[in-house]
Amino acid sequence: MTTIREVGPVTLGDAGPQSAWFDVRSLEPGVFLIAEPGHVNSFLVVGDDRAVLLDTGLGVADIRAVAEGLSGKPLSVVNTHYHFDHTGGNRQFDQIAIHRDGAALLAQPAPEGLAQGYMEYTRRMISAWGGYKDLDDSYFHLVTADTLIRPLPPGFDPQAYAVTPSKATQLLDDGDELDLGGRVLRVMHTPGHSPDSICLLDEHNGLLFGGDTINTGPIYAQLEGSDVTAFAASTRRLAGLRDGVRRVFVCHFMRVDNPSSLLAEIADGFEQLLAGTASYRDNADCLGYPVREACFDHFSVFVAGDAGGTRV
Ligand SMILES: [Zn+2]
Ligand SMILES: [Zn+2]
Q: How far is the CA of 39 from the centre of ligand 1 (A)?
A: 11
Q: What is the pLDDT of residue 18?
A: 60
pLDDT score recorded for residue 3: 44
Ligand nearest to the CA of 198: 1
Nearest 10 degrees: Cα torsion 207, 251, 14, 72: 30
Q: Report, as ranges of residue numbers, the positions in the chain whose pLDDT lies below 50.
A: 1-5, 13-14, 307-312
> How many C-beta atoms lie closer than 10 Å to residue 237's C-beta?
16
Distance 199 CA to ligand 1 centre (A): 12
Distances (CA, A) of 142 to 133, 242, 264: 9, 28, 26
Sheet arrangement for strand 280-284: 218-220, 300-304, 290-295, 280-284
Strand partners, 290: 284
What is the CA(252)–ligand 2 centre distance, in A?
6
Residue ranges per structural domain of the chain: 1-189, 211-245+259-306
Decide: residue 65, CB within 10 A, 0-12 exposed, 13-18 middle, 19+ buried.
middle
Q: Give Cα 267 to chain centroid, integer Å.
A: 19
β-partners of residue 45 are 31, 52
Q: How far is the centre of ligand 2, averaged over its atoms, from the C-alpha of 138 (Å)?
A: 31
